[in-house]
């Protein structure tokens, strides 16, 4: 790769940027993909442990995530059931206020009044999300009013049952990573609409990818060959009469007619633009929130929980492991329980004291202790505990993006709007499943179409 003119530069070798590059190359355009990190994949990442390939980043999806499903079919990459959903007769664990219960079905065991209140609230949320425009949520009826409040504020005002409030708080906290107290109500409804509704958001995580979700980016990059350059952080973008000039490590310059920035708005704010971006885009990037998580994998000799009829899934108020799934390989050669911890205030759902997150020994004990409460004494004796803190990943501001109150209606129009020769990809710009891998695929394909349409007259 030289500094010769290209048709398109794609900044970011996550799934979104690589999909965009794939589509553009197939259309006959010359493309370079630059990536700040030493490997491709973005927020998907593979690692090996005990001879098992595991995903340290995003991994779950479902048949409703049609953009990812179509890409997997194109790449001939197989899928398999989420480990916790292999046997429909197995029971999930619900652990709250020191009480452990098991259940089967979509919703945890609630009191009669709690269950009724939950269904009522879910119906209200569904009805409100039905009125949200996927393409322009800021233009939806009542958008200003909805964007002025938080989801947490709406729950406080409209859901009086404590059990129902807890379940909804958990659902959104896990799907969006952001706690409801910090999440714009408009954004929450937009996400809900893009996830196929309240039932789709909670249920469409029944599949995983053979070889790991990280294998998708690896395959895309392999097909692109030397068009992909890692360890190439994009530092400066200059708009020129002919397109863009981008500066990377050591002052190396690449030029192209178009640029796709395939990263979150929070990551894009670290790039120096000349001339400066329009105020709306600059403000969007400055105020955009990216929330990080810790993901853990706890290894055992066998998936012992299955012998007692448990699925390996748990939902809990214990901060050490608020959500757990069975991550064991299909051959059951080892047992793996995987889960997530939020990185935010301990006063909010799933939050932890920062001191705990920085103390590996104590954190390990909290995780294993929680698993022991859910699955019994055998869970107290893991062979290995792996913890990946996404807050510490260089060049990645967080795992999932969200907006605080007021941001979407003020500056949302800038989320996907091109700025001259600069186009925007990344999962945050997707209409459906924003923040998830399928959203990354959708966004990359949309950005590629924009660029191809813009360059077509010159081809």
340 is in an annotated binding site: yes
DSSP line for 420-445 = TTEEEESGGG-SSSTTSHHHHHHHHH
Q: Are residues 34 and 165 in the same domain?
A: no
Q: What is the pLDDT of residue 319?
A: 84
Q: How confident is the model at residue 1 (pLDDT cuts 50, 70, 90)?
A: very low
Mean pLDDT of the chain: 92
Q: Are residues 123 and 175 in the same domain?
A: yes
* Final residue of a structural domain among 144, 168, 199: 199
Q: Is residue 113 within a helix (H) or strand (E), and if so which, with residue range?
A: helix 112-130
Q: What is the pLDDT of residue 2?
A: 41
Q: Are residues 187 and 255 in the same domain?
A: no
3 is in an annotated binding site: no
Over residues 187-226, the pLDDT tens digits come to: 999 999 999 888 776 556 788 899 999 999 999 999 999 9
| pLDDT (average), residues 168-181 | 85
Domain ranges, residue 407:
6-43+213-289+403-455
pLDDT at 3 over 50: no
pLDDT at 244 over 80: yes
Scan for tokens 């859910």, then name that residue.
374
Considering the domain boundaries, does residue 255 fall inside one? yes
CA neighbours closer than 13 Å in the CB half-sphere of residue 441: 21
| pLDDT (average), residues 145-153 | 97
252 is in an annotated binding site: no
Considering the domain boundaries, does residue 307 fall inside one? no
Q: What is the pLDDT of residue 179?
A: 84
Q: How confident is the model at residue 271 (pLDDT cuts 50, 70, 90)?
A: very high
73 is in an annotated binding site: no
Residues in Cβ contact with 45 at an 8 Å cutoff, skipping those fewer than 6 apart:
39, 55, 56, 57, 214, 388
428 is in an annotated binding site: yes
Q: What is the pLDDT of residue 449?
A: 98
Over residues 330-387, the pLDDT tens digits come to: 889 999 999 998 776 555 566 667 788 888 999 999 999 999 999 999 999 999 999 9
Query: Which of 240, 218, 252, 281 lies closest to 15, judged by CA?
Result: 218
Q: Are residues 116 and 193 in the same domain?
A: yes
- Mean pLDDT lowest for which of 33-42, 80-89, 153-162, 253-262? 80-89
pLDDT at 227 over 90: yes
Over residues 33-58, the pLDDT tens digits come to: 999 999 999 999 999 998 999 999 98
| pLDDT (average), residues 294-323 | 94
* Final residue of a structural domain among 150, 173, 199: 199
């Amino acid at each position: 790769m030289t500094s010769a003119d290209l048709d398109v530069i794609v900044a970011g070798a996550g799934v979104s940027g690589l999909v965009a590059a794939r589509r553009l190359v197939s259309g006959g355009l010359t493309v370079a993909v630059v990536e700040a990190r030493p490997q491709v994949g973005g927020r998907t990442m593979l690692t090996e442990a005990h001879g098992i390939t595991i995903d340290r980043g995003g991994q779950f999806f479902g048949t409703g995530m049609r953009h990812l499903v179509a890409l997997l079919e194109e790449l001939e990459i197989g899928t398999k059931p989420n480990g916790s959903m292999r046997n429909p007769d197995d029971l999930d664990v619900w652990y709250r206020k020191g009480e452990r219960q098991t259940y089967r079905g979509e919703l945890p065991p609630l009191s009669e009044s709690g269950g009724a209140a939950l269904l009522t609230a879910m119906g209200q949320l569904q009805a409100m999300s039905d009125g949200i425009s996927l393409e322009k949520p800021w233009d939806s009826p009542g958008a200003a009013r909805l964007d002025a409040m938080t989801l947490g504020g709406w729950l406080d005002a409209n859901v009086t049952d404590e059990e129902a409030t807890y379940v909804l708080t958990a659902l959104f906290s896990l799907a969006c990573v952001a706690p409801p107290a910090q999440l714009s109500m408009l954004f929450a409804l937009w996400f809900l609409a893009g996830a196929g509704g309240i039932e789709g958001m909670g249920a469409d995580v029944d599949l995983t990818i053979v070889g790991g979700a990280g294998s998708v980016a690896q395959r895309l990059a392999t097909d692109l060959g030397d068009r992909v350059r890692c360890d190439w952080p994009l530092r400066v973008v200059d708009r020129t009469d002919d397109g863009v000039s981008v500066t990377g490590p050591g002052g190396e310059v690449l030029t192209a007619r178009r640029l796709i920035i395939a990263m979150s708005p929070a990551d894009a704010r670290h790039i120096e633009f000349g001339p400066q971006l329009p105020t709306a885009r600059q403000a969007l990037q400055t105020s955009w929130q990216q929330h990080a998580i810790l993901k853990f994998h706890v290894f055992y000799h066998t998936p012992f929980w299955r012998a007692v009829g448990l699925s390996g899934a748990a939902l809990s108020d214990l901060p050490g492991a608020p959500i757990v799934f069975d991550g064991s390989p299909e051959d059951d050669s080892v047992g793996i329980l995987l889960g997530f911890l939020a990185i935010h205030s301990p006063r909010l759902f799933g939050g932890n004291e920062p001191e705990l997150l920085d103390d590996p020994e104590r954190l390990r004990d909290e995780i294993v202790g929680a698993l022991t409460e859910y699955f019994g004494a055998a869970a107290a004796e893991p062979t290995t505990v792996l913890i990946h803190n996404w807050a510490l990943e260089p060049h990645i501001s967080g795992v999932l993006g969200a907006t605080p109150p007021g941001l979407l209606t003020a500056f949302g129009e800038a989320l996907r709007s091109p700025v001259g020769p600069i186009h925007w990809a990344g999962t945050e710009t997707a209409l459906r499943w924003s923040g998830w891998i399928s959203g990354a695929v959708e966004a990359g394909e949309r950005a590629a179409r924009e660029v191809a349409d813009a360059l077509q007259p010159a081809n």
